[in-house]
A = this chain, B = another copy of it.
Amino acid sequence: MIQTINLKEKLTHVTEFWHPGIVGELNDSYLKVAKLKGEFIWHHHDTEDELFMVLKGRLVIQLREGDVTINEGEFAIIPHGVEHKPVAEEETHVLLMEPKSTRNTGTENNERTVEPDWL
């Protein structure tokens, strides 16, 4: 049976900042939700474009060319190859959409790298 997924309900199961959880899959991509607070790291994805949609709060994505600010109800798409660093001053909830192959830290593999689990 096809399920209906409530984004706010799923977010109640997220307990760790910067650790996305999978909430859906389609066409070789995952939909994920995450809670963000503080600074992430500079990284890029070689082949995957990445969607950031802000459900609550505000996300700044630092780019080498300048900052992009995503407010609640807005999204931005970071094309593959573009270096970016997400920063959330306050607790921010996002929906992510990206190919299943996407690693959260892109081409970097370090202590911020996590494997997403299904929520």
Could you jot down 9 A-B contacts, CB within 8 Å?
A: A2-B76, A4-B69, A4-B70, A5-B74, A6-B71, A6-B73, A6-B74, A7-B75, A27-B98
5 further contact pairs, Cβ within 8 A, besides A2-B63, A27-B48: A5-B75, A24-B75, A25-B77, A26-B98, A27-B49
**Listed residue (A1, A24, A78) with the most chain B CB atoms within 10 angstroms of its CB:** A24
A61 (CB) vs chain B CBs: closest residue: B2
Q: Is the interface of A mostly helix, strand, loop or mixed?
A: strand
The answer to whether residues A8 and B77 also contact, given A2-B82, A26-B50 and a CB cut-off of 8 A, is no
A99 to chain B, nearest CB (A): 6
CB pair B51–A26 under 8 Å, yes or no, is: yes
Interface assignment of A29: CB less than 8 Å from any CB of chain B: yes
Chain B residues near A29 (CB, 8 Å)?
27, 29
**Interface residue A65 (Cβ < 8 Å from any Cβ of B):** yes
Q: Is A31 an interface residue (CB 8 A)?
A: yes
